[in-house]
Structure 1
Amino acid sequence: MDRGGQGRALGVRALSNAGFTIRPAGPEDAEAVGALLRASYPPLMAAGYPADVLERALPAMMKANPLLLRSGTYHLAVSEGGAVIGCGGWTREPPGAPCQPVDPTVGHIRHFATHPDVLRRGVGSALLGRCIEEARVAGVRRLECLSSLVAERFYESAGFRAVGKRSVILAPGVQFDSIVMVLELTPPTG
Structure 2
Amino acid sequence: MANFTSRLAAEADLPALKAVMTASIDALQRGFLSDEQVAASHAIMGLDTQLVKDGTYFVVESEGRIAGCGGWSRRATLYGGDHTSSSRNPALLDPARDAARIRAMYTHPDFVRQGVGKLILSLCEQAAAAEGFTHAQLMGTMSGEALYAASGYRVVERTGADVEGVNVPLVRMEKPLAL
Paired residue secondary structure (1:70): helix
* Bigger relative CO (Cα 8 Å, ≥ 6 apart): 1
Structure-2 separation of matches of 1:67 and 1:101: 12
Structure-1 separation of matches of 2:91 and 2:111: 38
1:68-110 Cα deviation digits (max 9, x unpaired)? 2212111000112x11110000002223321646332420110
Structure-2 separation of matches of 1:66 and 1:51: 27
Paired residue secondary structure (2:173): strand
Paired residue secondary structure (1:177): strand
1:39-75 Cα deviation digits (max 9, x unpaired)? 11111101111111222222552x4221122121110
Counterpart of 2:137 (choices 121, 144, 149) is 144
Q: How many residues align?
A: 168
TM-score (structure 2 length as normaliser): 0.85
The answer as to whether partners of 2:135 and 2:177 remain within 8 angstroms in 1 is yes
Determine the structure 2 residue equivalent to 1:185.
177
Determine the structure 2 residue equivalent to 1:115.
108
Paired residue secondary structure (1:104): coil
Determine the structure 1 residue equivalent to 2:32.
48
Paired residue secondary structure (1:36): helix
Gap change, CA 1:23 and 1:100, over 3 Å in 2: closer
The answer as to whether partners of 1:57 and 1:175 remain within 8 angstroms in 2 is no
Show structure 1 runs of 4+ deviating over 3 A: 171-175
Structure-1 separation of matches of 2:94 and 2:166: 28
Q: List aligned pairs for 1:131-170, cutoff 5 A.
A: 131-168=124-161
Gaps of 5+ in 2: 79-86
Structure-1 separation of matches of 2:178 and 2:147: 21
Alignment identity in percent?
A: 30
Determine the structure 1 residue equivalent to 2:69.
87
Counterpart of 1:68 (choices 27, 37, 51) is 51
Gaps of 5+ in 1: 1-16
Which has the greater radius of gyration? Answer: 1
Range moving further from structure 2, 126-135 or 174-183 = 174-183
